[in-house]
Each structure stands twice: as C-alpha cells, then as structure tokens.
Amino acid sequence: MNETRDAVICSTERPRRFYDCTLNEKLLYTAFLLLVGIAYLMALTYLYTEYEGIDGKPGLSLEDIAENYYGNRSGTRLEAALRGPMAGYIETEQRHHVVEWLKSGASKSDYGNRIEPILTERCVVCHSTASGLKIPDLSSYERIKQVSNVDTGVSLHSLMKVSHIHLFGIALVALGIGLVFRFALLPHWFQHTLTLLPFVAIFTDIAAWFLTKWDPFYAYTVVSAGGLLGLAWAMQIVISLYQIWFLPQRAQVRCSVAQQSGNHE
C-alpha cells in the first residue's frame, strides 16, 4: 500500500525534471540547445561585421549603433556607406575623392571627370538594376543624387519590416529554449525570472531601435538589452545542458525520501 502511494507521489505530485526524461528526450533537447547556441554566436558575428566601422573607425562601438539608426546627420547616406559596410570594396584614396566630392556639393561637372570612373570600377557591378540586387543604383548621376542627401539612418519602413520579423522569430526561439529550461531544478523565483527575461529583453531591444532613430542616446539601451538577452539565453542553455546530463539520480533520491516518510507513518 505504501509503495503504491509513494509511486504516486514521485510521478504525479512532483513536476518533471531533466532526470525524469528519457534518453531520446535528452538527446533532442541537447541537440536543440547546441544548435541554438551556435546560431546565436553566428548572429553576433554577423552583427559585428554588419555594423563595425560605420562611424569610420575600426571596431564596433556605440557610435556605430547610433549612426545605423539615427544616421550621420553631418554627412550623406553614400558617405556613411563608403566609410562603413562598403569600405572594403573601394581603395582608401578613391573613397577620399568620392567623399570630398560629396562634401563639396556633388556637382555634375566633377562627377563625369572624377567620380564616375571610380564608381564604375568599384560599385556599379552590384549597384545597378542589371544586378537584380535590392540595393541603391549608382550607375548614373541622377541615381547617385538620391543617396547624396543627408544620412538620417535606417528608414521607419525598414525598421517596421525588420522589427516584426525579429519579434516573431526571436520570440519562437525564446519559447523553444524556455520549454526546455522549464525542466530545470532551480528556486522558483530564479527560474521564473530567467524564463521571462529574454522576452523582456527582446521587446526592450526592438523598442530601443525606434527610440535611437529619434535620439542616438538610446543606443545604450540597444546594447544593454541585447547583452541581457544573450546573458539570459546563455544561462538557460548552460544550466539546462548541465542538468540534462549531470543530475541523473535526483529523482531516485526524492522518491526514497518520500518512501521513508510513508513507511514511518
């Protein structure tokens, strides 16, 4: 009679933990967490290479983040691209000539003599309608004038497009990690906080994009929220992987404790 009641206590009254999972479940959760972790590291690498050098200086800085969203209000979109993501596709001296031309007013007379040969050699292969790429067309003076205006950063339309994709996609990743992490054996307050933290960080990060578009000061919030998201995910993944493989006996210990209590009664 006591054995039957103890089995009920161990299997139904106590929530499932990683040590209750089958080997197949453990392999599934491990593979998912490892792939998500690798994908996140690749995403960080992409973000670094995408935003690094936007301010014209080597390395990734707050100024790079701010200029991406707020823009470089003292320069043009083309100048920002040449100093940032496109810097590796043009010689330093050639970039100097193009930037000097932009700052002097981007006159049509100087374009034909000095600038057109540079852009034809370095840029037009990709930056033309023939390439089929959805990037600015630099094949004519009229097209170049469209990106020779003051750089105000990424457009609100683009922000809306990217933000809704990130909200859907990252929320699903956070849900997947959270569904695995729920089996962890931790103090309730800590587990609940760590489960909710990625969702708060995602919302704060994306909201900060729009705030930075309005005021570059909020670039600090973008970086802080992104760091908080990475920290929360890292803790969830590491704790889950550890408990999946290194806490195999806790269920038996708990059951034996319950059995001893029942026997004393």
Higher-confidence position of 98 and 242: 242
Residues 210 and 159 in one domain: yes
What's the total number of domains in the chain? Answer: 2
Taking residues 45-49, report their average pLDDT.
88
DSSP structure class, residue 16: P
Asked if residues 232 and 201 have their Cβ atoms less than 8 Å apart, the reply is yes
Tens digit of each residue's pLDDT (9 = 90 or more) over 174-194: 999 999 999 999 999 999 999
**Res 28 pLDDT > 70:** yes
* CA–CA dist 60, 47 (Å, integer): 9
Number of CB atoms found within 10 A of residue 141's CB: 16
Q: Is residue 11 part of a domain?
A: no
**Res 8 pLDDT > 50:** no
Quote the pLDDT of residue 239. 97
Residues spanned by the domain of 25: 18-51+154-246
Residues 112 and 44 in one domain: no
Selection from 30, 22, 10 nearest residue 248 by Cα? 22
Tens digit of each residue's pLDDT (9 = 90 or more) over 139-162: 888 888 777 776 677 888 889 999
* CA–CA dist 82, 109 (Å, integer): 21
Tokens linked to 207: 């909201």
Task: Indicate the residue among 128, 145, 162 that finishes a domain.
Answer: 145
Quote the pLDDT of residue 221. 94
* Residues near 68 by beta carbon (within 8 Å), at least 6 away in sequence: 51, 54, 153, 154
Tokens linked to 136: 């600015």
**Res 3 pLDDT > 70:** no
Residues 241 and 158 in one domain: yes
Higher-confidence position of 217 and 252: 217
**Res 168 pLDDT > 90:** yes
- Which of 111-115, 136-140, 216-220, 248-252 tops mean pLDDT? 216-220
* Residues near 130 by beta carbon (within 8 Å), at least 6 away in sequence: none
36-40, 49-53, 223-227: least confidently modelled range: 49-53
Strands (E), the chain: none
Taking residues 4-19, report their average pLDDT.
63
For residue 63, which phi and psi values (nearest 5 degrees)?
Answer: -65, -35
Tens digit of each residue's pLDDT (9 = 90 or more) over 70-119: 877 666 778 777 777 777 788 888 888 888 887 777 788 778 778 888 88
Asked if residues 187 and 222 have their Cβ atoms less than 8 Å apart, the reply is no
Quote the pLDDT of residue 73. 67
Q: What is the SS3 assignment for 114?
A: helix
Task: Indicate the residue among 145, 171, 200 that finishes a domain.
Answer: 145
Quote the pLDDT of residue 55. 66
Residues 188 and 107 in one domain: no
Residues 33 and 95 in one domain: no
Selection from 88, 87, 85, 112 nearest residue 99 by Cα? 87
Burial 16-33 (b: 16+ CB within 10 A, else e): ebbbebeeeebeebeebb
Burial 167-186 (b: 16+ CB within 10 A, else e): eeebeeebeebbebbebbee
